[in-house]
Amino acid sequence: MKKEHKFIGHSDCEIVPHLYDEIDDFAQISSILSGKFGTLLYDSENERIYVARDHLGIIPVYIGRGSRGEFFVASELKAFHDYATSIEILLPGKFIFT
């Protein structure tokens, strides 16, 4: 490990930003994660949002866009009600970034 990492909670998702600190390649990170997950990471330094879905597609990940360019991510379609003008599903094992 390059850096010392302090975990503040007990969530298994807490590993994602620490992996990003070490690897700095979200494609590689999403390929080594296992289990069921849908995860989002915001890189404030580069102003990028990364979203990934588990390889088996157990956890759904929906991507929505609003009429003013808003970007929405959720695991349930009902979260987009009255907000998104377009919605797509992230395919299993895939990731995107903005």
Query: What digits encode the pLDDT tens for the residues 20-76?
Result: 988 888 889 888 888 899 999 999 999 999 999 999 999 999 999 999 999 999 999
Q: Which domain holds residue 25?
A: 12-97
Strand order in the sheet with 95-97: 38-43, 48-53, 95-97
Using alpha carbons, select from 22, 18, 54, 19 the residue that is nearest to residue 38.
54
CATH number of the domain bearing residue 49? 3.60.20.10
The reported pLDDT for the residue numbered 9 is 86
Number of domains in the chain: 1
- Cα separation, 61 vs 73, in Å, equals 7
- Cα separation, 24 vs 87, in Å, equals 28
Decide if 22 is inside a domain: yes
Burial class of 6 by CB neighbour count within 10 A (0 to 12, 13 to 18, 19+): exposed
Decide if 2 is inside a domain: no
pTM (two decimals): 0.84
